[in-house]
Amino acid sequence: MHTITAPDGTTIAYDRTGAGEPLILIGGAFSYRRFPGQVKLAQLLSARFTVYSYDRRGRGDSGDTPPYAPERELEDIEALIADVGGPVFVYGHSSGGALALHTARRGAPITKLAGVPEENAPGDHAIESAGALDNGAAPAPTIMPAITTAVTANHTREARSNRPRRRSARTQDPD
């Protein structure tokens, strides 16, 4: 575990794994860096990227300096990017995707951005943010095919493993 200090003094915890260009994973509101899905995704991506998976403030091993404001979370991401040395790739899941997009809009050195809105089905989940960022505030990040592939593969495996199994007539218990 590594830590950084956000501008308001909050300690932010993160893990670093893999080798390659830096990629920051931003989990959803109810996630943290040791959440099984987040760990799996970091493992998949670490073959190609140096993955930074962090605990958003108030989660896991990160602190939480009151009062809460979404802007503090954007500052946390900017502090992590500065610690990494930017520019970075960013992948955000659910509300983490919204934070990633807002951080890019503020002009953070984000090369490429991908996100997964919670309501979309696997295989149709990747959002391209280039159009949304075409406001002159920051270079327009684009979707990262490697992340899309890894996330889709992970969702597909999970969907298969969570599918209810049918029992054949030979193995059913008698009533």
C-alpha–C-alpha distance, residues 43 and 63, integer Å:
25
Span 142-168, pLDDT tens digits: 445 555 555 555 555 554 555 554 444
For residue 93, report the phi and psi dihedrals to the nearest 5 degrees. -110, 130
Helices 95-105, 70-84: crossing angle, 10 deg rounding: 70
Tokens representing residue 60 in the block = 């896991």
Q: Which domains does the chain have, with CATH numbers?
A: 2-153 (3.40.50.1820)
C-alpha–C-alpha distance, residues 71 and 85, integer Å:
21
**Dihedral of alpha carbons 89, 50, 93, 55, sign:** negative
pLDDT of residue 78: 97
Span 26-54, pLDDT tens digits: 999 889 999 998 999 999 999 999 999 99
Q: Classify burial at 58, counting beta carbons within 10 Å of its beta carbon; exposed 0-12, middle 13-18, buried 19 or more.
A: middle
C-alpha–C-alpha distance, residues 135 and 123, integer Å:
28
> Within 13 Å and on the Cβ side, how many CA atoms surround 134?
6
